[in-house]
Amino acid sequence: MNKKLDLFKNISLWPVVIYSFVLILLPLLYILFLSFCETDYVGGINYHFSIVNYLTIIDSTYLLIFAKSALIGIITTLICLVIAYPFAIFLMDKKEEVRNALIKLVMIPFLTNSLIRTYGWIVLLRKNGIINNGLTSLNIIKEPLSLMYNNIGIIIGMVYTLLPFMILPVYAAVNKLDPNLIKAAKDLGANKFHVFKDIIFKETISGAFNGSLMVFIPAIGYFFISDILGGGKQMIIGNLIKDQFLTARNWPFGSAISIFLIIVTFLLVRVYKKIGGNIDELGGM
Amino acid sequence: MEHKNKFLRNLFIILVFIFLYLPIAVLVIYSFNKAKTNIVFTGFTTKWYTELFKNRDLLEAFINTIIIAVTSTVTSTVIGTTAAVGLYKYKFLGKNFVNKLLYIPIIIPEIVLGIALLSVYTLMNLNLGMFTLILSHIAFSIPFVITSVRSTLSDTTKKIEEAAEDLGASKFKVFKEITLPLIRPGVISGATLAFTLSMDDVVISYFTAGPGSNTLPLKIYSMIKTGITPDVNALTSLMLLTVIIILTISIIYQSRKIRKKVVA
């Protein structure tokens, strides 16, 4: 009926179409293209088809970095889960206004930059930092503990930076639970562990997986945390990509690792959808 | 028994908050420390706050960071909000594809988006600087705004819009007078999210900033290697104070509105 030009339709859709093609599709296609090129070893790119970058990934030194990143990511994710679940469940006792205010409080630290907060951890964790000074002056320890410039430092930094991304989806999922369900189970004699395992966790598993994705995926890429708290010696995939782009200037190899990460991400999202996760809720805060 | 349980539960919640606020609290405390090193507290002073206002470089970095956050938040909120409505309302060729593309920045590692944008800016011969920084922040914010607004759109909003259109209101009028008030919570939370992500970002800024740019994360990154001066602590405290003031105002404003609703 209305065949005339729909101005609102055009104004609302053209910007997003242009945006998604120019700032999402084009950059990704371009690094896909670069990943099949070769470096000329002076920072430039040889534009002829090659799969050498993908073969290099399978090299043992790089596989070791991948394995280590995955391990750090998994440990970080598990620690975040172990903190977020009780936090979300205990929050349910509170009134709605209190709950909303507390969830806002979880987000506030984000408004100071995450690098500043990571720096705060240096002040706490280093050899003559607050934690070590406190523990030695209380005579709990004699020698200062090595809390940073190692994997412990990286994991503390990762858990700290990413915990809110676990708390929010887990809280949202727990919040949707029917309290009668838990009450019924308790009345029927289920112990706390069974209530958690068979009801709470089962019903909120997509929230848990959502949070796990939002923690695990950044954790393998946050080079600044391993740079600062790992002391620059401890490499994760993020450092490897960063070095390929800014120091070694081997963009094709850096692109190949990035494409590999994208594939891993897509596979994880597939699993998330399989277990009944809603893609619209990913990254929702 | 029940009493002890409640105490332990509250203790756990408090411990989580201590963990979340510990590194910031430390910086706030040391912003009043006389000594220049953040090791021993030697006495109270406010000199780092006056020092901060003399440090042009650090102030410029902070102002640039705010400019980037505000510009990218406004742009991504406008584009994201109208896009969410348009994508909900209209069918067009390739809509599914666009929807799929929009999930990508949310799920892929930030570093991948960062290097992909850097590569494309280089391909297009764009000079890295404030412009590419703002563009990149818009790029990662839009999908978050869209998802946030989309969650407030429903069949009901669609029906009310259609009713208004049938009564002769133009599409723009419907958007302004009907849709926007209905989706306001989604728009506000989308904008808040965009602003928060922009202020917090390190990774994407690191790749798309270029050598001449001066923003807070880049400034602090370079300082961590050479030594952080206490005026950074002072800046952190001021940022935190501003956030707390804004948040308190918004909470008071919201509770007033709830009370008004109750009275009405």
In order of start, what are the domains of chain A with their CATH numbers?
50-281 (1.10.3720.10)
Chain-centroid distance of CA A255 in Å reads 20
Residue A249 has pLDDT above 60, yes or no: yes
Mean pLDDT of A91-115: 86
Enclosing H/E stretch for A38: strand A38-39
Taking the C-alpha atoms of residue B5 and residue B2, their distance in angstroms, rounded to an integer, is 5
Contacts of B26 in chain A (CB under 8 A): 120, 123-124, 130
**Range(s) of the domain holding residue B193:** 56-228
Residue B3 lies in a domain: no
Judged by CB atoms closer than 8 Å, whether chains meet at B232 and A262 is answered as: no
> Across the interface, do A241 and B217 touch by the CB < 8 Å criterion?
no
Q: Give the minimum alpha-carbon distance from B11 to chain A in angstroms, rounded to a whole number.
A: 10
Identify the CA nearest to B32 among candidates B239, B236, B246, B245: B236
The answer to whether B183 and B81 are in contact (CB under 8 A) is yes
**Contact between chains at A217 and B109 (C-beta distance less than 8 A):** yes
ipTM: 0.90
Q: Is residue B94 part of a domain?
A: yes
| Number of domains composing chain B | 1
CATH of the domain at B91: 1.10.3720.10
Ramachandran bin of A94, using left for φ above 0, alpha for ψ from -120 to 50, beta for the remaining angles: beta
Residue B29 lies in a domain: no
Contact A113 B216 (CB under 8 A): yes
CB B203 to CB A11 under 8 A?
no
What is the C-alpha to C-alpha distance for residues B81 and B86, in angstroms, rounded to an integer?
9
Is B6 inside any structural domain? no
Nearest alpha-carbon partner for B258 in B250, A123, A13, B27: B250
d(C-alpha A8, C-alpha B82), whole Å: 9
Q: What are the per-10-residue average pLDDT scores of chain B (264 residues)?
A: 81 96 92 82 88 92 94 97 93 93 94 96 94 96 94 85 88 88 90 91 92 87 84 90 82 70 60
A195-223 residue pLDDT tens:
888 888 888 888 899 999 999 999 999 99
Interval A255-273: pLDDT, tens: 999 999 999 999 999 999 8
* C-alpha span between B137 and B239 (Å, rounded): 20
pTM of the model: 0.90
In a domain, residue B41? The reply is: no
Which 3 state secondary structure label does DSSP give A39? strand
| pLDDT confidence tier of residue A180, bands split at 50, 70 and 90 | confident
Q: Is residue B21 part of a domain?
A: no
Residue B264 placed within a domain: no
Residue B33 lies in a domain: no
B21, B82, B193 member nearest A11 (Cβ): B82
Distance of CA B54 to the CA centre of its chain: 27
